[in-house]
Amino acid sequence: MLTMHPSIMLGSYVLDEDRLPRDEFEIRLAPLYEMMKTEGYAATLVYGDAREHEALAYFTNFIPRMRWAMAMIPAQGEPRLLISISSRDMPAMKTMTGIADVKSGWEWKWFDEFIARFASPAKLATINFDMMTPLLFGQLAKSIAERFDLVDVDGIAAQARAIHRPREIAMTRIASGIVREMGAEIRAKWTDGADVETAALAGERLARARGAQDVRTLVSRDNGLTLEPYRAQFTGRPKTLLTYAAVKYMGYWAETFVSTGGAVSAANARLETMLAAVKPGAPVCALAQHADHPTLAGSGGHRIGLSPIEGAEFTQHEKSVIETNIVYALRAGCIVNGVGAIASAMVCLRGNGMLETLVRSEMSHN
């Protein structure tokens, strides 16, 4: 779900090398090094910003809390991470990545010095440069002038991340545990008589106290028909509850919905049907028919991991199929007698055919 982007991401982003050791990133980077060797690229430049940074985080663990960052990974030699932040903040930034050479992107000489390592003409592979601003791209283009060709390798980066690695699924499992607790807290506060924003805020407080790096919520004021971001109104209590909650833990997102009221049974039944269809090779477009709620925009779900929305939405036009070892966020929704509900589950189909449910939505009739 699209949610309100905060001006800064809070929470602890320090790299935990017990959970994500150096060799994990060597494995993740191997396809990029192979590509550079095969295609003759001098380096790969991976861009990310505060809103979308899944590739950057995957290859470096670094997540920009604000503005942007760019990893510059040479085919040979040590990588450099350029971050749009003051040199004052470099000591803190260095704790967030295994890359030793971390520099302020406000001093563009560090980019120029990096590309000066390579004899021109040469080719530089780029990842997610479409997300860069024209202003920054202009600065970069001026530096490389006619000396280097930029080659978009977004597809290769996506292929490198085709499935979720075991450590990724492990981190997502922890995030799922936090969002499950958050959902239970929201429902408990609602049951105690709180308004929707107070209930959502209680859930957010719990998740942040558990170490969540980011927390997003949407609430409904109209009996589950629409969702909206926090507005600090703390008034009104619709007949039914519909809340979306998402948390990020060590870079990995998990999400859930909390619903009450008369449409819950129908939404749950749709989710059951959806889950029964989650088989290896099953077309994801078949899931779209169960997303009969206006906030879902005809999508039955998507991948979830380093981004709350990884890859394509599962609409009726999407061509991909269900695969093993990928974490999916699935949603089924409906409106019954003017009341809306959404049932959701995060699932992962394991290699042995077992469907693991990481978290399932909090649902109750009242």
Partner 1 sequence: MRRENARLTAARAWLAENGLDGFVAFNDGQNSFLDSNAVFVFSDVRTLGRSAVVVARDGASVLIAEPAFDAARLREDSTTQDVVGTDDLTGRLDQTVKRLGLDKAQVATVALTRQSRKLAREVNAMFAHPPRAADMLSSELARIRLPEELAASRKATWIAERGYERLLEAAKPGVREYELAADIYTFMKGLGAEDNFLLMSASQHNLAVRAAGGRVLEEGDIILGELTPCYQGQFAQICRTAVIGKSTQLLHDKYALLQEAMRRGMDAATPGATVKQATEAMNSVLSAAGYGDYCRPPYMRVRGHGLGVTSSQPGDLHDASDIVFEEGMVFVMHPNQYLPETGYLMCGEPVVISHNGAISLSDHDAKLDTIAT
Give the distance from CA 131 to its chain's centroid.
Answer: 15
283 binds partner 1 (CB under 8 A): no
236 binds partner 1 (CB under 8 A): no
Amino acid at 21: P
Cβ distance to partner 1 smaller for residue 194 or 346: 194
Preceding amide of 6 cis, omega within 30:
no
254 contacts 247 by C-beta, under 8 angstroms = yes
Q: Please provide the DSSP assignment of 108-132 as one string.
A: THHHHHHHTTSPSSEEEEEESGGGS
Q: Is the dihedral of CA 1, 337, 363, 218 positive or negative?
A: positive
Closest approach, Cβ 132 to partner 1, in A, equals: 6
Closest approach, Cβ 116 to partner 1, in A, equals: 23
Cβ distance to partner 1 smaller for residue 21 or 40: 21
Cβ distance to partner 1 smaller for residue 332 or 347: 332
309 contacts 53 by C-beta, under 8 angstroms = no
Closest approach, Cβ 4 to partner 1, in A, equals: 6
Kindly identify the residues of this chain, within the stretch 286-325, that bind partner 1 according to CB under 8 A.
294-295, 297
Closest approach, Cβ 212 to partner 1, in A, equals: 8
1-9, 117-125, 178-186, 256-264 -> range binding partner 1 (CB under 8 A): 1-9
Closest approach, Cβ 197 to partner 1, in A, equals: 9
325 contacts 348 by C-beta, under 8 angstroms = yes
Closest approach, Cβ 326 to partner 1, in A, equals: 24
**Which pair of tokens denotes residue 69?**
């960052």
Q: Per-residue x/- marks for partner 1, 170-209, CB under 8 A? A: ----------------------------x--x--xx--xx
C-alpha–C-alpha distance, residues 286 and 270, integer Å: 12
Q: Assign residue 311 a region (left: φ > 0; alpha: ψ between -120 and 50; beta: otherwise).
A: left
- The shares of helix, strand and coil residues in the chain, as percent rounded to the nearest 5, are 35, 25, 40
Residue count, binding to partner 1 (CB under 8 A): 54
The one among 13, 25, 118, 257 contacting partner 1 by CB under 8 A: 13
237 binds partner 1 (CB under 8 A): no
DSSP-based three-state secondary structure for 73: strand
Closest approach, Cβ 182 to partner 1, in A, equals: 12
H or E stretch including 352? Answer: none
Binding interface with partner 1 (CB under 8 A): 2-14, 49-51, 65-67, 86-92, 95, 129-135, 137, 198, 201, 204-205, 208-209, 211, 222, 226-232, 234, 294-295, 297
